[in-house]
Amino acid sequence: MFFTFLGTGAGLPAKERNVTSLSISFPEYDGNLWLFDCGEGTQRQILYSSVKLTKLKVIFITHLHGDHIFGLPGILGSRSFQGAESPLLLIGPTGLKEYVEVSLRVSGTHIRYPLAVRELSAAGGAAFEDEHFTVSAEPLDHGILSFGYRITEKDYPGELLVDKLKQAGITPGPIYKQFKEKSEVVLPDGRRLKTASFVGEKRQGRRITIIGDTRPCDTAVELADHADVLIHEATFQDHSRALAYDYHHSTSVQAAEIANKASAEKLILTHISSRYQKDDQTLLLEEARRVFQNTELANDLWSFHLRRQPR
C-alpha cells in the first residue's frame, strides 16, 4: 500500500505546497488507486508522480471547501481524455453531485466512462466496501460538514506453508495459487485436499485513518483507534491554538494528542498553512514529536509505503 501526497497545503497553493490531495495505491490488489480530496492543480501534481488516472477507482472527498475539490473537474475530464473506460465512484458530502454535474455541464466536459456519486448523510456511517476493504466515514468539527475516513483492510490469509506442500508431494506451480484462493483443491492424481492445513493463520488487515479539516474532537480519536497510520491536518503551530479554533482547524500538537489518545502507530501531518516556511515547518514537526514521537511531516510528492505486518 503506497501513499503519495500530491498536495499538503491549506487554503491556497504556495510555492512549496499545493493544496490538499492524497493518493493511495494498492499494488497487491491489481494496482487499484484511490484519491482523497482533489484540490486545485492535483492533475498537474500527478505528472510528477507514478499515479495513473486510468487505475483510479474511487475518489473520497472530506468536505466541499475549494482547496479540497477545485481540482476535481479537471481530473474527471483528464481521466476520460486518457482513455479510461472503467467506472469511477465519487464519495463525499451532500452537494458533491451537484458540484460535479454543474462543473461538467457548464464547461462542456464529456466523460466516456460510467461515473457515480455517492453522497453521505450528515450522520456518516458505512461509506464503501469491496472485496478487500471497508471504509467508514464520521462527521468531524469544522465550519461545514467535514468527514474523517477509516479504512479497514479485511483479514487476509496467512503465508502458504510451502514446506508442508512439498512434504505432501505437491511441487511448486500454478496449483499453489489454488491453495491460497480455494477451500479445497483437486490434485492431478485425484486427491482432494482441504487447503486450510497448508496455509498459516489469517493476519489482521491494516487500518488507516484520514482526518479531514477539523478542530480536535472525540470522533477523530474514535476513527483513529489503533490505526497503523493516522493522517491528520496540522494547519497551525501550537501557539496559534486560538486561531486554529476560530478557523475550525487543528495544530500540530493537537494532532499528536489525538494520535496518543487513539494509540495509533504512526502519525503523518499534512494540510499546512502557507504562512509557514521551511524553518517554521520544522518547528511544527518538532513540537508534535515531543507529544507523539512517531510523527512525520508530509511534503508534496512524498511517498510512504505501508507494508503488511504480522500482528
Catalytic residues: 67
**Pairing between β-strand 21-26 and β-strand 2-7 as defined by DSSP bridges:** antiparallel
Closest by Cα among 41, 16, 10 to 142 = 10
**How many C-beta atoms lie closer than 10 Å to residue 156's C-beta?**
14
Decide if 300 contacts 49 (C-beta within 8 A).
no
Beta bridge partner(s), residue 270: 233
Closest by Cα among 155, 135, 156, 138 to 147 = 138
Closest by Cα among 40, 76, 82 to 58 = 76
- 222: Cβ contacts below 8 Å, ≥ 6 apart: 138, 262
**How many C-beta atoms lie closer than 10 Å to residue 165's C-beta?**
20
Closest by Cα among 274, 210, 208, 299 to 6 = 299
- 111: Cβ contacts below 8 Å, ≥ 6 apart: 76, 77, 79, 80, 104
**CA-based torsion, 168, 169, 171, 174: positive or negative:** negative
AA letter at 32: N
